[in-house]
Amino acid sequence: MGTIWRRTQPALTYATAAHAAVGQMRKYTDEPYIVHPIRVGDIVDKFGGTDEMIMAAYLHDVVEDTAVSIDNIQDMFGPVVARIVDGLTDVSVPEDGNRAVRKAIDRQHSADARYEAQFVKCADIMDNASDIGDNDPSFNVVYRKEMVLLLEVLDKVKDEPIYKAALKAVL
């Protein structure tokens, strides 16, 4: 096994267990949820992301979807990975308002996020765009409009190839 795998494998194991503990499956395929974070991690790696970014890719949905907290992530994987995951975690709640209001809140959170989180967010957008495009044409129209708006605020990565690929994935 390569050095990257040895460094990132504990995050993959942790995310796999966290998503499995709540019985989470992918919406359209009914596959174990972890297939999505793995694909996001692979995209991050393909575009030259760091080990910490790959780890955050594996962990990017655990705070939103499981009982894991940012503090848990920091305790297990350190402050760098925790900051990236925090930047990837939606902060809106249903009480904030309708979908448009919540997406605006989450967009601002992403705009304020560090470069590393914006980089991983591009990979997340790419994988979700493919999955939604293949499986839910009606929602795909809404999703792609929302992601174009989101990409507009990811200013820290606008010159990166991964940003251009994410934009291409939603246009």
Average pLDDT score over residue span 32-60: 97
Average pLDDT score over residue span 147-157: 98
**pTM value?**
0.95
Q: What is the mean pLDDT of the chain?
A: 95
Which position among 64, 75, 112, 155 bears the catalytic label?
64
Residue in this structure with the two tokens 């995050």, named with its chain if needed: 11
Model confidence at 3: pLDDT above 70: no
Per the annotation, the verdict on 116 as an active-site residue is no
Cα 151 from Cα 144, distance rounded (Å): 10
- Predicted confidence at residue 47, as pLDDT, reads 98
- Predicted confidence at residue 51, as pLDDT, reads 96
Cα 87 from Cα 157, distance rounded (Å): 14
Q: What domains appear along the chain, each with residue ranges and CATH number?
A: 3-170 (1.10.3210.10)
Question: What are the φ and ψ backbone dihedral angles of 25, each rounded to 5 degrees?
Answer: -125, 160
Cα 71 from Cα 79, distance rounded (Å): 9
Which position among 42, 45, 65, 136 bears the catalytic label?
65
Per the annotation, the verdict on 64 as an active-site residue is yes
Model confidence at 1: pLDDT above 60: no
Q: Give 93-114 pLDDT, tens digit per residue.
A: 999 999 999 999 999 999 999 9
- Predicted confidence at residue 4, as pLDDT, reads 58
| Residue 36 CB-density burial (10 A; 0-12 exposed, 13-18 middle, 19+ buried) | buried
- Looking at per-residue pLDDT, the higher value among 1 and 105 belongs to 105
- Predicted confidence at residue 119, as pLDDT, reads 98
For 46-62, b/e burial (b = at least 16 CB within 10 A) is ebebbbbbbbbbbbbbb
User: How many residues in the chain?
Assistant: 171
The string of DSSP codes covering 51-103 is: HHHHHHHHHTTHHHHSS--HHHHHHHH-HHHHHHHHHHS----GGG-SHHHHH
What single letter denotes the amino acid at residue 42?
D
- The confidence band for 6, taking pLDDT boundaries of 50, 70 and 90, is confident
pLDDT exceeding 70 applies to what percent of the chain? Answer: 97
